Every structure is written in C-alpha cells, then in structure tokens.
Structure 1
C-alpha cells in the first residue's frame, strides 16, 4: 500500500515541473543490471519523444527512479506516470525471470513552484549515487542525465 505522501493523481498543469520518485516493488534492486536500466531509460525517452513530458534531470538508482520532468501533453501527470510504469513494466517483465510487480503502487511528487529551484533540484537528483556511496564520481555512474550538466 502506498504511503500517504505517495499519490495516484492530483492537479496536472501543462508546463508544471515535478520531481517524481518511483520505487520498485519490494525495493528490488532491478536496475543494478544495466540492461534492465536501459529498458526503463528507453521508455522515459519515448515519453519525451511523444511530447508527453520533457525530462530535465533523472537518476535511476538500483531500486528507484528520481525524475525531474515538465508536463507537456494533455494526459496529466498521473496518466503520464501510469503510461510510463505500464510500458516499462511490460518491457522488464519480458526479460526478468522472477515475474511479479515491477513498480510499487503510486509515486511521490513534488511540484516545483519556483524556477530558481530547478537547477538545485537537478543537482540533488544527479548527486544521489555519490551520496549513496555507489560511485566516487558521478561520471562513473551510468544511469543519469540532466539537461544542464
């Protein structure tokens, strides 16, 4: 069951920037395997190519995703995340041998109110592998991107 700071929907405004956190079911470290991470990254890019979201920064940690995105399309945040989770789950489910759910229900969302917060939040997102002790330099971590860095 999602915690009360996770949500399934809410106000969606085109152009609004959101810091989204999605967690794997059971916090399984599915993305330690780079081939699994690449499948998820491809689905993030697909949403951008379809002009549903614009990815500003993201990092795919072993068991969760931090994604700074701007809504572009008319489908709203909850539906954009639903589409992403469904597509990525189908792709991962096709290669995983264990079966079961890929993502926890719901997601965490923090809507950024000030444009001045964007770069600081992006830096925070990208630095997460460093703080978690996964790498000594962010350039050594394979699963991240930011439009400013």
Structure 2
C-alpha cells in the first residue's frame, strides 16, 4: 500500500494479516499514534489481584518504560480479576505485541513472588480504538472509576491500583 503523509501507518497482525478487509475482521489493526482502550481478564477470572502484594507487582509493570517501549500508558486500573489500559501506540510496537508484553511481564513477576507457575492472564483481550469524537479524559475517568462502580471502594482515591496522566 502506498502511504501519503496524511495517512497513518496501518500494521495488521493475526492469522489473516495481509488479506485486505478480512484482516481487519479477523486480525487486529495497529495504528501508529492511535489510542486504544484494552481490557483483559485473569485466567478463569481468578481474583488474583485482590492480594495487595500481587497488585503492586503487576502495577509496576504497567508503568515500566522497558515494557511500554515507545507506547504511552495514558490510564489504567487493575481490578481483582481484570485490567483496563488506555494506551497510545508509538511507532515501534503493534497493539498485539504491547498487550503480550504487558501480560507476559506482569505474569512472570507475579508468578515469581507468589512461587507459582502457569498463566495469570486469559489469552484473549478486548480492544477499542478511540474515535476522534471520543473525549479522552472521559474515557480515562470511566476506566479509573471501575472500582467505584464495582463497589470495591466509596471513593476512587481509596483504591490503590490505578493511574491516569490527566487526573
């Protein structure tokens, strides 16, 4: 595909990459500079991160420059059995690679301190590319308010596992 300067670079990943429209339905498209809301669950929805120590270990991974490379973590919240990330991709990493890196790094560190082995995260994840008409700060507020909506705390200020660059 010939790129002009006003077109974002589209990188398709997955089984059907390179097969046109089918690639967008079956694979994932990664747009440089695009902002994505990503969520994934723990394996079997286990409440692994109800343990404060495990949550601390995973949270450190979500902020690591080594893990993020050139992507930017705009907001995140770690719930007992799932996580939400608001991520802006850089030029060097696809969405699939970044999500895999976030999951692998946090799983390795959690398993190490808990003396366990095996999967921490479910294989699948859900992603939504934000549209230009979506308010970024509103999406970030929605993400970090997750513990409040779940009834875990009466104020987001009392929940330890979240961050947002806007708030």
TM-score (norm: length of structure 1): 0.87
Structure 1 residue 76 corresponds to structure 2 residue 71: no
Structure 1 residue 59 corresponds to structure 2 residue 77: yes
Deviates more, 1:134-143 or 1:36-45: 36-45
Paired residue total: 143
1:94 is matched with which residue? 112
Structure 1 residue 37 corresponds to structure 2 residue 55: yes
Contact map agreement 2:38 2:85 (CA 8 A) in 1: yes
Q: 1:12 to 1:78 in 2, by over 3 A?
A: same
Counterpart-to-counterpart distance in 2, 1:94 and 1:120? 36
Q: Please state whether the residue corresponding to 2:28 is helix, strand or coil.
A: coil
Contact map agreement 1:8 1:78 (CA 8 A) in 2: no
The structure, 1 or 2, with the larger RCO (C-alpha pairs under 8 Å, 6+ apart) is 1
Report the CA distance between 1:52 and its aligned residue. Answer: 3.0
Which string of whole-angstrom CA distances, capped at 9 and with x for unpartnered residues, describes residues 29-51 of structure 1? 11111211111111111147753
Give structure 1 stretches of 5+ with no counterpart: 1-6
Compare CA radii of gyration and give the structure with the larger one.
2
Give structure 2 stretches of 5+ with no counterpart: 1-24
